Structure 1
Amino acid sequence: MPGKVRIGLIVGNDTDRAIEFDQAVNVSLRGNNDADLVLKLAFDEDEFDWTRLHMTPSYFRKTKRWETSKVDVLWNMVSDADQHPGTLAVIEKFTDQCDLPLIDPAAAILQTRRHDVARRLAGIEHIHMPKTLLLRNPTLERVRRQAEAAGFRFPAIVRRTGTHNGQMLGVFQSPEEIEGVYGDRRNEYYLTEFVDFRSPDGGYRKTRFFFVGDEIVLRQHVVSETWNIHGRSGRGMADHPDRLAEAQTWVGGGFAGLPATARTALRAIGDQIGLDYFGLDASLDSEGRVLVFEANATMNFLPRAGHMRGRSAAALAPMVAAVRKLLLAKAAQRATKT
């Protein structure tokens, strides 16, 4: 496609009411992924250009609207279906009217709540997806009945919907032991079967993958002393040269270096989730079977510092290549239409 590929980055949230048209003014990106940072760090401005399209639930009640005649591809960064269902509904209407190639349709994002993903991945060969229940207006009796009907097994992790970075209320051995949930009519909660995935050497392993178009990028591999692995957990590997070497080998080998069983299972996950761009946190056993922790587009690729070091740096080049390939493929769809 001749000239620059012009990208409209859709951002927004359910809290803001005013639409911010000034590109220089920051808006809240809570519940949005960091695809904008990947673009800013990775691409030559002679080939790609982008503009921010801020959305809120009130967008269609405003007189002023976004002009998209100079946009080739839309990229929806609003990725948390728990936090921003109103904005996602507006984005779905907006993108339907634009008739432009789109990365991560809002309708598909809305199907990535934890309990929906658990249902969609259940029963796929070589994948273990712990059962997850959505608790609304929970009482002890309701949770008992819901767990029994679903064949749900305790112990279980309880977390409020829309939370990330390892935030949770705790791991509970039975419905009777759950605290901080019953009687709460304002918030919703996820109840997820707890799986002890400790390796024979005593470590807990979590690998983050990014699905970008038809490519899968191995972003990070962490070995931890505790099961609740999140952003800072990798720092504890500094005192374990063997674990650092393992992480470097995993990231350096990438998707192609995984066992065939794991590659097949990961492809199946990509097919079921159905997004152009999303992340997966999982643990792989020695035979390549995949224990899924979370799969959605809310995951960030880059750390807050905006750069990658050491064992993770090897993931940057394949990620850049995958995103570039995805954008060019979407832009080609636009060229075909015109």
Structure 2
Amino acid sequence: MLPDSDQAKAEPFCADRIGFAKLTAMAFNGVDLRPLRDELIAKVVGGTAGPGEGLDLSLIAQLLGEKATGLSIQAEVLGFHQLFRSPCSAEPPRLRVLALAAAIDMGGNTPIEFLLEESGIELKTLYVMPGIDLPLPDHDVAIVIASDSDECHEALRIIDEMAPRWPRPMLNAPRLVCHLDRDKLHRLLQGVVGLDIPATICATSAQLADVAQENLSPAYIAAELAFPLIVRPRGSHAGVGLAKIDDRAAIGRYLAERTEQEFFVSRFVDYANEDGLFRKYRVVFVAGKPYACHMAIADRWDIWYLNAGMSDSASKRLEEETFMRTFDFGFARRHATALAGMAERIGLDYFTIDCAENKFGDLLIFEADNTAVVHNMDSPELFPYKPPQMRKIFEAFAAMLMHRAREGRERAA
């Protein structure tokens, strides 16, 4: 339930924590997190750990590859406490932001701490739990950071029910977040001029097995499908279970290694350039305006920035730097119609896309997301062009929050 909106009640207790940004940066930079983990475990065993330390322990376990343990700790902590405060670079803060999160693994909520880390904006995160009254603190603006994942749907439903009565401006409306699911996004964006977004079809393991065993065409599942296919387990992220399927025999081999019962299937698009390399872009939208986030170049279609070898290639980094420096009058102008149409259809205040350019010059959309990692952790010595670009995104995000908060105060007056 939503508490009284007059904020007359005493402020609920907000547990301080080390936070997502600092702990993730430590892991990214190769810091051994095990001593900190052991220190926090000792506090838990001794009964002196607070809820913030418990949530930090949950994240550390996940960063160390112990996902099940981390989620178990998180569930225990969130069962008795839901409100947390991240470190703030200014006192008093310029603005107070409340992030509305779901109880999911570390990749399931917008990593908003990276966006606000040096902003002087206070961030409190409230985990929306079914059956638990929300301990609502005073704030200037709220933003939904839960994702479109199945595990977040109940939290999004609860927030959506409360949204019309929310006492402050709320960004990233939950009903719009739900449209980012892979099998909904292509329908939402269908017809946008200059976009190529393959239909994503939900298929069961039984349907895929039928294609493999009964000598059937992929069109048996949906008319849009033909070999080669891209397949991934429904609800998976970060490339888990992602594969290119060239024929029926490959389906059989794929299913033999998977235990999931539902999959997303789409047609494969060969987006390699004439030099044989694939180029994948991440673009960030803040208040409808696109910003360059990164560019990955590799000789494989399934690119992630970390597997593209950008650190090992000066020529790749030069191309990424050019992409960033010329973005506004290059990439963004070239795809202006597609980017504007997509921003309008999706309607979120903040989201990202992973995309490429197909052989006809259209913008090929892989996914849109509100939880992709947008960070400034890369080495400034190796990537000197990145910090200015990331600061541009962070400043735009902070400015958007300030603007929406000011609009809310003006309406209230």
Is the TM-score greater than 0.5? Answer: yes
Given residue 298 of structure 2, which amino acid in structure 1 is its aligned partner?
S
- 1:84 matched residue in structure 2: 152
Q: Classify 1:256/1:331 alpha carbon distance in 2 versus 1 (closer, same or farther; 3 Å).
A: farther
Give the drift of 1:176: 5.9
- 1:18 matched residue in structure 2: 79
8 A contact 1:209–1:220 mirrored in 2: yes
Q: Normalization by structure 2: what TM-score? A: 0.68
- 2:193 matched residue in structure 1: 125
Given residue 273 of structure 1, which amino acid in structure 2 is its aligned partner?
I
CA–CA distance in structure 2, aligned partners of residues 146 and 202 of structure 1: 27
- 1:37 matched residue in structure 2: 114
CA–CA distance in structure 2, aligned partners of residues 336 and 188 of structure 1: 48
- 1:333 matched residue in structure 2: 407
- State how 1:229-248 maps to structure 2 within 5 Å: 229-234=303-308, 236-248=309-321
- State how 1:93-172 maps to structure 2 within 5 Å: 93-136=161-204, 138-139=206-207, 140-141=209-210, 147-148=219-220, 149-172=222-245
8 A contact 1:75–1:104 mirrored in 2: yes
8 A contact 1:158–1:170 mirrored in 2: yes
8 A contact 1:261–1:289 mirrored in 2: no
8 A contact 1:115–1:132 mirrored in 2: yes
Aligned length: 318
- 2:334 matched residue in structure 1: 261
- State how 1:148-297 maps to structure 2 within 5 Å: 148=220, 149-174=222-247, 177-179=250-252, 180-181=254-255, 187-234=261-308, 236-258=309-331, 260-284=333-357, 288-297=361-370
8 A contact 2:356–2:364 mirrored in 1: yes
CA–CA distance in structure 1, aligned partners of residues 181 and 219 of structure 2: 18
Which of 372, 392, 396 does residue 318 from structure 1 map onto?
392
Q: Classify 1:177/1:248 alpha carbon distance in 2 versus 1 (closer, same or farther; 3 Å).
A: same
Q: Classify 1:136/1:333 alpha carbon distance in 2 versus 1 (closer, same or farther; 3 Å).
A: farther
Q: Classify 1:248/1:150 alpha carbon distance in 2 versus 1 (closer, same or farther; 3 Å).
A: same
- The structure with the largest helix share of the pair is 2
RMSD between aligned residues: 3.3
Secondary structure of the residue that 2:335 maps to in structure 1?
Answer: helix
CA–CA distance in structure 2, aligned partners of residues 173 and 217 of structure 1: 35
Q: Classify 1:115/1:175 alpha carbon distance in 2 versus 1 (closer, same or farther; 3 Å).
A: farther
CA–CA distance in structure 2, aligned partners of residues 38 and 187 of structure 1: 36
Which of 134, 143, 164 does residue 65 from structure 1 map onto?
134
Secondary structure of the residue that 1:53 maps to in structure 2?
Answer: strand
Give the drift of 1:167: 2.2
CA–CA distance in structure 2, aligned partners of residues 19 and 79 of structure 1: 23
Given residue 92 of structure 1, which amino acid in structure 2 is its aligned partner?
D
Give the drift of 1:238: 3.7
* More divergent stretch after superposition (188-197 vs 159-168): 159-168
Q: Classify 1:188/1:247 alpha carbon distance in 2 versus 1 (closer, same or farther; 3 Å).
A: same
Given residue 410 of structure 2, which amino acid in structure 1 is its aligned partner?
T
Secondary structure of the residue that 1:110 maps to in structure 2?
Answer: helix
Secondary structure of the residue that 2:84 maps to in structure 1?
Answer: coil
Give the drift of 1:165: 1.9
- 1:5 matched residue in structure 2: none
8 A contact 1:80–1:109 mirrored in 2: yes
Q: Classify 1:214/1:100 alpha carbon distance in 2 versus 1 (closer, same or farther; 3 Å).
A: same
**Structure 1, unpaired ranges of 5+:** 1-7
Q: Normalization by structure 1: what TM-score? A: 0.82
Secondary structure of the residue that 1:111 maps to in structure 2?
Answer: helix
Given residue 158 of structure 2, which amino acid in structure 1 is its aligned partner?
V
CA–CA distance in structure 2, aligned partners of residues 181 and 189 of structure 1: 10
Give the drift of 1:241: 2.5
* More divergent stretch after superposition (82-91 vs 153-162): 82-91
- 2:93 matched residue in structure 1: none
**Structure 2, unpaired ranges of 5+:** 1-13, 15-19, 21-54, 56-70, 87-102
Q: Classify 1:181/1:337 alpha carbon distance in 2 versus 1 (closer, same or farther; 3 Å).
A: farther
Given residue 114 of structure 1, which amino acid in structure 2 is its aligned partner?
R
Given residue 293 of structure 2, which amino acid in structure 1 is its aligned partner?
R
8 A contact 2:85–2:123 mirrored in 1: no
Once the two structures are superposed, what CA deviation does each residue of 1:263-313 show, in whole Å capped at 9, x if it has no partner? 22111111111111111011135875211111121211016x588643433
Given residue 302 of structure 1, which amino acid in structure 2 is its aligned partner?
H
Once the two structures are superposed, what CA deviation does each residue of 1:56-97 show, in whole Å capped at 9, x if it has no partner? 2x2xx23x53224x2221111112333321222122223333
Q: Which has the larger radius of gyration?
A: 2
CA–CA distance in structure 1, aligned partners of residues 156 and 379 of structure 2: 29
Give the drift of 1:150: 3.4
Given residue 87 of structure 1, which amino acid in structure 2 is its aligned partner?
A
